[in-house]
Amino acid sequence: MSMIVRRLSRAATAGLVAAAALTAAAHSAEAADTLGSAAAGQGRYFGTAVAASHLGETDYAATLDREFSSVTPENEMKWDATEPSRGSFTFTSADRIVDHAQSQGMDVRGHTLVWHSQLPSWVSPLGASDLRTAMNAHINGLMGHYKGEIHSWDVVNEAFQDGGSGARRSSPFQDKLGDGFIEEAFRTARAADPAAKLCYNDYNTDGVNAKSNAVYNMVKDFKSRGVPIDCVGFQSHFNSNSPVPSDYRQNLQRFADLGVDVQITELDIEGSGSAQAADYTKVVEACLAVSRCTGMTVWGVTDKYSWRSGGTPLLFDGDYNEKPAYDAVLSALGGAGDPGDPGDPGDGASCTATYTRTADWSSGYNGQVTITAGAEPISSWTATVTLPAQQSVSSLWNGTPTWSGNVMTVRPSWNGTLAAGASTSFGFTAAKNGSDAAPAVGSCTAS
């Protein structure tokens, strides 16, 4: 009985807060685009994984609320979190996320109903018939609680093995119930919440390979036999060992051609700077090129809370600054950046460099190069200084030099970020070696 009351009140609350969020969005039409608004312009959602434990952190919540139009609970809807002992459901943490999302007018992806990992210890020892009953009861309990509130559910997660075989992964479900457990889970899920899109979700299926072929064949079989499946999730966890596949778009398209939506469900790409940005661009462009690619979710708001935090794989750094990858995604989504925000699409970042000699003695001198930002703030600069051939530099401060012959290219050490019109400088000591000529300061470029 208490579950029914909770369900009704969840649905009633959702309607009210969604209306409030729409009003708020209408008032901010003049602002720069965000990931969510730019994606909406392309008919897509742009989501993130969220942890309930971080929602109380002001910058985390502000970034989440400003940028994203969909959330996926990172761990809070998993079996160990929601049914730690048989028949006893706990939704406190998941409810916090769903309530927060609804207060912001965001969609919620449900993750995940049936998965071999993060299973509470009571599940594995069950015999086949008991396990089937427990699996269906888990689906009904979780989906029933959120009935009508979940955009898409990852019904079954990661049921196929890595590697060349295309075989099913060993798990209590596979080992005791056989291949049919996936179909059964989808049928149970459809009955539990007919409004939710039902997805199969996996990793290393992003390009055409043996594993994605196996998933493809399963989806094709489901479609031909009327097993209810609406979408396939491509996790898209990328790094140097597992780069964005060159046939990513083609793979998304072939699944879409089976008559299912495709979603990028757990996107993260280890790396930094322009290389990471370029990889993110490829992923966004691939999704936009496939009309049934309905949205993208990155696997976290900030690098500092990523499951791969050492690889800095996300769009915001640990201080919630927008990374080059953020600007690239926004740009690929067709969004306009904030003109005052360095690196944003359409940005006019610029700088100038001027030279003065600040000390002089018979065998050497100290030079100083002052970098001044143009009409917009900048987050980095690069200046070139060409020395007379005889001279050599013995030390340099407040900058990081690289050399090509007698041309010194200097980038910031700590002093890359400058407000519009603001200045910083780097200095160096040079040996004259018989030439007292001044060095030539060349171009200054900024981003």
Using CB under 6 A as the criterion, which residues of the chain lie in contact with ligand 9MR when the complex forms?
74-75, 117-118, 157, 203, 235, 266, 307
Nearer to ligand 9MR, 234 or 365 (CB): 234
**CA–centroid distance for 173 within its chain:** 30
Residue 423: strand, helix, or coil = strand
Place of tokens 């491509």: 234
- CB of residue 307 vs ligand 9MR: minimum separation in angstroms? 4
Nearer to ligand 9MR, 34 or 152 (CB): 152
Beta strands at 107-115 and 392-397: parallel, antiparallel or unpaired:
unpaired
Rounded to 5 degrees, φ, ψ at 412 are -65, 155
- CB of residue 409 vs ligand 9MR: minimum separation in angstroms? 39
Nearer to ligand 9MR, 136 or 201 (CB): 201
- CB of residue 107 vs ligand 9MR: minimum separation in angstroms? 18
Nearer to ligand 9MR, 70 or 235 (CB): 235
Beta strands at 407-411 and 351-361: parallel, antiparallel or unpaired:
unpaired
Contact 324, 416 (CB under 8 A): no
Nearer to ligand 9MR, 158 or 193 (CB): 158
Q: Give 103's strand partners.
A: none
With both helix axes pointing from N to C terminus, report the angle between 210-225 and 248-256 in degrees, rounded to the nearest 10: 10
Nearer to ligand 9MR, 157 or 380 (CB): 157
- CB of residue 91 vs ligand 9MR: minimum separation in angstroms? 18
Sign of the Cα torsion 310, 313, 318, 322 reads positive
Q: In Å, how far are 6, 144, 197, 226 from 190, measured between CA atoms?
A: 21, 11, 8, 12
Q: Specify burial of residue 254 (Cβ count, 10 A radius: 0-12, 13-18, 19+).
A: middle
- CB of residue 118 vs ligand 9MR: minimum separation in angstroms? 5
Residue 57: strand, helix, or coil = coil
- CB of residue 157 vs ligand 9MR: minimum separation in angstroms? 6
| Residue nearest ligand 9MR (C-beta atom) | 307
Distance CA 119, CA 369 (A): 60
Residues recognised as catalytic: 158, 266
Q: Name residue 14's amino acid.
A: A
Distance CA 307, CA 303 (A): 9
